[in-house]
């Protein structure tokens, strides 16, 4: 039974993201989400009382993914290979596993700030920044490592180049890996 409840929550999240992308967060109602799902509003309320609850759940899922990545990274030796693998895993997280959530977040920062969900997300990204920068790195090398993470987040966002202009898959990761490649 718990599996069905989880599946339903995931379906609600998916449909909500689709509608938020089509109409914008503010113009999407719980009624529209329920209609798209072909359920009653009461059935939707069983899982989420408000649109804000849906958003919180989406960000929680992303934060959980970041927690898993951070836990894995903390167990690894600090090395060039670890940094590259962290970037690969982060890329998979923000592009594949949580790509729609990341695009929603990037397009709705002011709304999400009002909900207070940006702080936990920002804290996790700051932790990730610290993990991929060695303490003995020079400032330029440290900045390149931080920019590698930024490249992965912003590289998937078509907002910066107009609709349909996001780089092909893998380009942001390629650039991120080049940024952290040893110079010499």
d(CA 92, CA 98): 8
Chain segment 136-172, per-residue pLDDT in tens: 678 888 899 889 999 998 887 766 555 556 677 788 9
Instruction: Write out the two tokens for 89.
Output: 């895993």
**Helix 139-154 vs helix 99-107: crossing angle, to nearest 10:** 100
pLDDT at 164: 58
Q: Is 182 exposed, middle or buried (0-12, 13-18, 19+ CB in 10 A)?
A: exposed
Phi-psi domain of 181 (left: phi exceeds 0; alpha: psi -120 through 50; beta: other): beta
Alpha-carbon distances, residue 80 vs 33, 92, 126 (angstroms): 45, 19, 19
- Which tens digit of pLDDT belongs to each residue from 31-86? 999 999 999 999 999 999 999 999 999 999 999 999 999 999 999 998 889 999 99
pLDDT-based confidence at 1, cuts 50/70/90?
A: very low
By the 8 A CB rule, do 155 and 134 touch? no
Residue 92 has pLDDT above 90, yes or no: yes
pLDDT at 2 over 80: no
From residue 68, how far is each of 14, 20, 79, 129 by CA, in Å?
22, 27, 19, 15
* Contact predicate 15/33, CB 8 Å: yes
List the one residue out of 69, 70, 76, 131 whose CA is nearest residue 97. Answer: 69
- Structure confidence by residue, pLDDT tens digits, 108-126: 888 888 888 888 888 999 9
């Amino acid at each position: 039974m718990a599996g069905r409840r989880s599946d339903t929550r995931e379906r609600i999240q998916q449909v909500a993201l689709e509608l938020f992308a089509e109409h914008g967060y503010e113009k999407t109602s719980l009624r529209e989400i329920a209609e798209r799902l072909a359920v009653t509003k009461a059935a939707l309320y069983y899982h989420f009382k408000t649109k804000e609850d849906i958003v919180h759940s989406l960000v929680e899922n992303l934060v959980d993914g970041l927690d898993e990545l951070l836990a894995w990274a903390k167990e690894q030796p600090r090395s060039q290979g670890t940094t590259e693998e962290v970037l690969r895993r982060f890329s998979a997280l923000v592009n594949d596993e949580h790509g729609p959530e990341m695009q929603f977040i990037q397009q709705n920062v002011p709304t999400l700030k009002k909900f207070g969900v940006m702080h936990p997300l920002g804290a996790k990204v700051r932790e990730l920044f610290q993990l991929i920068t060695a303490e003995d790195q020079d400032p330029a090398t440290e900045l390149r490592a931080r920019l590698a993470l930024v490249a992965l987040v912003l590289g998937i966002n078509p907002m910066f180049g107009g609709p349909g202009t996001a780089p092909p898959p893998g380009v942001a990761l390629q650039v991120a890996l080049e940024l952290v490649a040893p110079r010499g």
